[in-house]
Every structure is written in C-alpha cells, then in structure tokens.
Amino acid sequence: MNWEQLLSLKRYGDTNKRLRIEQDPTRLGFEVDYDRIIFSAPFRSLQDKTQVIPMSKTDFVHTRLTHSLEVSVVGRSLGRLAGKALLEKYPALEKVHGYTFNDFGAIVAAAALAHDIGNPPFGHSGEKAIGEFFSVGDGLKYKEELTPKQYQDLIDFEGNANGFRIITEDFPGQEGGLRLSYATLGAFMKYPKESLPKKPTKQISDKKYGVFQSDLEVFKDLTQTLGLIAKEGKDLRFHRHPLAFLVEAADDICYTIIDFEDGINLGLIEEEMALELLINLVKDNIQTTKYAALQSTSRRLAYLRALAINTLISEAVAVFLANEEAIMKGQFHHGLLDKSKYEAQIADIIDISIKKVYRSDEVVGKEIMGYSILNTLLQKYTAALVRDMKGQCTNYDKLLLKGLKAEHDYANKDLYERLLLACSYVASLTDGNAHNQFKKMTGNGSF
C-alpha cells in the first residue's frame, strides 16, 4: 500500500480525480466528511442509544452520541500525531501533494465519528437479537431461499457492515449516500471482508465482517481505489487501511476508560478500587503533588481519566509508528493497544468493567427487554415486506410499511434485500423509538 492512494479524496461516482493540492483550504474534503456525518439523521439518532446501559436516562451515562464524539476527539489527536511523523518520513506527501498532518487527523476523526452509526438499539445485545431472529427464531424459515453469504449477513448481523451501508447507500437524488471521501471510508472499515468465511484466521481484521452482499459494488471500487491488499482466496477479504488501526485504538481507549468511569459514577465499581487501577495505568506520568492537592474523588477521577487517555494516545501512536512498515505490507495483525506496554493494566480495567458493569443486573435486565422488543419488530416488518413482495399485503401491513416506504424504495427488491432492509430499519431506531413501536404493536401504546 502507498499513502498517496490511501489518502484518496475520491467520492463514489466521481469521474475526475480530486487532488489534495487543489483543495480549497477553507473547505477541505476530509473536513467536509466530518460535517456530513455530524449533520446526518443516523448520527443524530445516536443521542438516544446508550453506550453501556440500554434505555438509561441517568445523566452520568454516556450515549452512543457522546461516546462517538469523544472517540472522534481522541482519533483526531491520534491522526495528527501519526501524520506529523509520517510527513517527516514521506516528505513528498506534503511537498508534492500538499497533505498536512491535520489531514490525517481529519480522516481519523471523521471515521471515528461514524464508527457506531450502524449499531442497533440496546447495545451489542441488539446485534445478537437481530442475528438470533434468523438463526433460531421466526426468520429461520427464510434460510433455504438465501445464498450462504446472504444468510450469514443476517444471522451475524454486524453494526460495522450496517454502518458502511448507511453512509454509502443510494437514495433518489442522493447517490452514494453521504458521499464521504474514500480515505475516510477506508479508515472507517475495521473489517474489510464479507461475512463468509467467518473468522478464517486470528488476524484482527478477520474478527468480524464489514460489508453486506448488497453493498459489494462500492466496496470493490473502494478497495481498488485505495490499493488495499487482498488476502488469499476467492472471497473478498482485504488487509486494513492503516488509519483503521488508529480509529480502532480511539474506540478502545474511550470504551476502556469511559465505560469504566460510567461504572464508577453509577456506583457499580468501588471508587477506591477504580482509583487504584487508574493509578496503575498512569503511574509513570502522574504528578503526585498535583494529584494529592485534589480534594474530591470526582476531581481525582477526572484527573486520572484525562491522564489515562493522554497516556494511551501516546502509546498507541508509538506502536503504530513502530509497526507502520509492517502495516503497509499487510503484515501487522493486532490491535495497537494489544501490543502496548500497558496491556496488563488495560486488561485489569476491562475485566472489572465486564464483571461490574456489563454483567450488572440493570444492564442484563434491560438487554432482556431489548431482545423481546427487537424480536417483535423484526417479526412484524419481515412478514409485511415478504407478503408485499408476494402481492399478499394486508391492511395492517400497509399501515406498518407506510413510514418505511417514504424512506426506502423496496418495490423491486428481492427477498434478501427486503430482509436486510427490515434489519437495517430496526437497527436505525433509537432505544426510545423501538420501545414505543413495540408498545403500539402489542396494544400498549397510547392514542
């Protein structure tokens, strides 16, 4: 791979090449990506999708929106720091092509901003609920009518692939979706592969998948334009865009520290234990005099959180730069923090978050509710879309699909595309909207 290709400003449908040196400095293409994401309806819906505790209205808990904004800020710092070093290593990028270290920051920030845009309501249990509807639920009956890869898309419904669909999906008058630059799309895609084969290797880019069968056209154009390295085999699998490692690191840093902080604020993690674990992480950088002067636990926690994030940013960039040549050759197969000198301290924090937060009674209880809600919504929407395809639409189906039809033209869609549309639509709902629709469908809604 080479950086000039990887930093492509191309947008889907372009016929002429966009050159960085010809960009309007007041309206750079990579910064336009950020603007388009932040003003999009799918991004705004993240304000009612909680990060840790589904449907929580507690002030202390991060939503997907605040989490995404924080990941973006961390990603911008990672990109700028890495970009500064890369321009020193490859001076032609700046002197000949006009790239700056801020370009790297803008790309990573935009991709990080969108990293959760395809996630369904009720956290990661939402993905599992959608998948299980087709693997063991009512949707199992469609298996024999789908190709293996189409069926795998459904039973392993993946928020990353749904995010790629959302930001690239054609609409009448809006071809190419948000029309983001290919550099940003490449950085966004942590798992540049189809749903099958499932986990063919232990390489981190094979852990999940990042594209549905319906979106292969833009995926193929993207990987070819960016010059991503194809993996062996006849299936579509590629090594990551290098900046995807920084996007992943930004997310890892935030959920490690911020989810942990949410657990403390909710009283799920003991303050004394939390402070001790954070001090273990930042002990090489902590200013003991300044820390001792902080009077309250909340101020000490805020200081340690900021220091922990800064420590991990520096560490992630160091690991990235040390392995940049291997990454460019498709020979680095780990998350950046997995190779960090703080790996043990990070593992201790995540272990406590899993035990105390992710498995808490409040989280588990509300995720159970989420399973019931999503199962009901999927049953209603898939049945209505399939009956419509067969010309057997009931009056109830027409009422149900009225809102869907205003946004999506499914008149000529086949079974797979209709089932995927139902999944993507349900995934687009906020926690509150999904709950309200469920109440109406089950006769518990108010007039």
Q: Taking the complete model, does pTM exceed 0.85, yes or no? A: yes
| Percent of the chain at pLDDT exceeding 90 | 76
Distance CA 122, CA 314 (A): 32
Cβ neighbors of 156 (< 8 A, separation 6 or more) are 131, 195, 198, 208, 209
Shortest CA distance to 53 belongs to which of 118, 115, 122?
Answer: 122
What per-residue confidence (pLDDT) applies to 445?
62
Distance CA 359, CA 160 (A): 23
Rg of the chain over Cα atoms, rounded to whole angstroms, equals: 22
**CATH architecture of residue range(s) 244-361:** Orthogonal Bundle (1.10)
- Cα 203 off chain centre by: 19
Long-range contacts, stretch 20-23, CB < 8 angstroms, 24+ apart: 20/97, 20/98, 20/99, 20/103, 21/96, 21/97, 21/98, 23/98
Cβ neighbours, 10 Å, residue 153: 29
Distance CA 73, CA 251 (A): 10
Residues facing 171 on adjacent strands: 174
Token readout for 66 is: 């605040």
Distance CA 38, CA 167 (A): 12
List the chain domain ranges: 244-361, 366-441
Name the region of 443 (left: φ>0; alpha: ψ -120 to 50; beta: rest). left
Distance CA 224, CA 221 (A): 5
Shortest CA distance to 31 belongs to which of 92, 104, 87?
Answer: 104
What per-residue confidence (pLDDT) applies to 447?
47
Instruction: Work out the end-to-end distance of the chain between its first and last CA atoms, rounded to an integer number of angstroms.
Output: 58
Question: Backbone phi, then psi, for 50, in 5-degree steps?
Answer: -80, 150
Would you write out the chain's pLDDT as a tens digit for each of its 447 residues? 999 999 999 998 888 889 898 888 888 889 999 999 999 999 999 999 877 765 555 556 788 999 999 999 999 999 999 999 999 999 999 999 999 999 999 999 999 999 999 999 988 789 999 999 999 999 999 999 999 999 999 999 999 999 999 999 876 666 778 999 999 999 999 999 999 999 999 999 999 999 999 999 999 999 999 999 999 999 999 999 999 999 999 999 999 998 898 888 888 899 889 999 999 999 988 998 988 899 888 898 899 999 999 999 999 999 999 999 999 999 999 999 999 999 999 999 999 999 998 888 878 888 888 899 999 999 999 999 999 999 999 999 999 999 888 788 898 999 999 999 999 999 999 999 999 999 999 887 654
Distance CA 154, CA 163 (A): 15
Which amino acid, residue 13? G
The sign one gets for the Cα dihedral 23, 24, 25, 26 is negative
Contact predicate 289/76, CB 8 Å = no
Cβ neighbors of 319 (< 8 A, separation 6 or more) are 336, 337, 339, 340
- Cα 290 off chain centre by: 36
